[in-house]
Structure 1
């Protein structure tokens, strides 16, 4: 009887197949952001992250001290061996590391879209760390240009949306980004002001919706990665954009409310 029970359990576990999210992101040695955050947030939604490293960094939970992009040929090779073997249900992009890497990623997405025209692509347009440390060898905003027309969902915070568009209001920022090809834009409000409420604004095709969340004290390392990756993990499993955004924001807010410290400074979301 015991042996039969083990066999049934093993069969059940062996029969499970998770939706795979192809992730392009940098390595954060502190474990708070980048591929570490993506892995945890995507797994928490019930999907699986395939992590293609775009850059190596020297950083702690507050500052980025150095960035070394991965060579474009190696980035391409990392992705190709995964794409050749595994069905891709969504793509999540963090820092490309360089303009050359962004072009490689764009080419890979175009290749995937030939067979999967509706493949969800989520881009977290990280232009700098919370302290303003650069995360690309090139002009980070310019480097993202080939990716924007391919994006299903863009998740900029207020400063990123302004840097990408030159516009001052979320509505104008979203309109400019959608004119460049982004189908959906979620402008997050964590950097907007010091009020007690954070307002996140979604703009899609004929859609506009706002969510209000209690502002939490302190700063967090990897919150943007957490939100974008959660969205990608949910879209990979077939959720509608509205449902994915709602659930991903709820999840992200809980990880921040239950965050923990590894040192002084920014806290780490409990993903």
Structure 2
């Protein structure tokens, strides 16, 4: 029995709330398997980011090549690249994979800063993700990130409304000449790694072969459940319980 593999490029969060840890758990909960390649080491807890140290781009590429040679990759998820050099290396690797698999989906979580505004890339976050934007199948920004990306065109864009106000969270999808809204009850408190959870879950659903809109809907339902059953590590943001079963 095999599971579809999702190649993940993401940062290491030692609190276990976001980044690679979140991606691995969320992808596993969809019934897929994550192949995590760490793009950056960070100094952070579940509330604040204090430092980011990008991994060498050559090492990143070597890890990805070994995995691609041994595993059939069904989807890719990209979080923070750490810097421009890593983004360029990831973009080049995706292009090589698509020479044999042109329809290989890539989900981009365009993290421009932490939930509290701390920087997560060296040399400017928007510049760092630049080489990846044109390759993304699905981009999952929050409202502030969507404003920063205004004018860019993507096959599928899911703008999340968690940073807005009101009794519900509205997520809006634009794609294939259509748009659709989903509304979810707003949960009290703040959450660490909610964007990682959602984007990784989408990648996991796409790796299973689901159509994009179905993958978006089921990943949102899973993410909402993970937030609803979140737990505390200490004061501040809560950690999504990603062991919850997907809808």
Same fold (TM over 0.5): yes
SS at match of 2:179: strand
Match of 2:226 in 1: 255
Matches within 5 A, 1:7-156: 16-156=1-141
C-alpha separation between the residues in 2 aligned to 1:144 and 1:210? 26
C-alpha separation between the residues in 2 aligned to 1:144 and 1:95? 8
Match of 1:177 in 2: 152
Per-residue CA distance 1:177-212 (angstroms, 9 max, x = gap)? 21xxx21000000112x2001100000011100000
Match of 2:163 in 1: 191
2:194 aligns with one of 205, 219, 223:
223
- Where does the alignment leave 5 or more consecutive residues of structure 2 unmatched? 243-247
| Deviation of 1:164 (Å) | 2.3
- Give the TM-score, by structure 2 length: 0.97
C-alpha contact 1:227 1:249 (8 A) present in aligned 2: yes
Bigger Rg, which one: 1
1:162 equivalent in alignment to 2:169:
no
- Give the TM-score, by structure 1 length: 0.88
Per-residue CA distance 1:31-72 (angstroms, 9 max, x = gap)? 000000000000000000000000000100000011000011
Per-residue CA distance 1:149-190 (angstroms, 9 max, x = gap)? 11000000001111222xxxxxxxxxx221xxx210000001
| Deviation of 1:142 (Å) | 1.4
Per-residue CA distance 1:135-160 (angstroms, 9 max, x = gap)? 00111111111111110000000011
- Where does the alignment leave 5 or more consecutive residues of structure 1 unmatched? 1-15, 166-175
C-alpha separation between the residues in 2 aligned to 1:246 and 1:96? 26
C-alpha separation between the residues in 2 aligned to 1:227 and 1:64? 20
More helix by share: 1
Aligned-CA RMSD value: 0.6
C-alpha separation between the residues in 2 aligned to 1:177 and 1:257? 33
Aligned length: 242
C-alpha contact 1:177 1:185 (8 A) present in aligned 2: no
Match of 2:245 in 1: none
C-alpha separation between the residues in 2 aligned to 1:131 and 1:260? 19
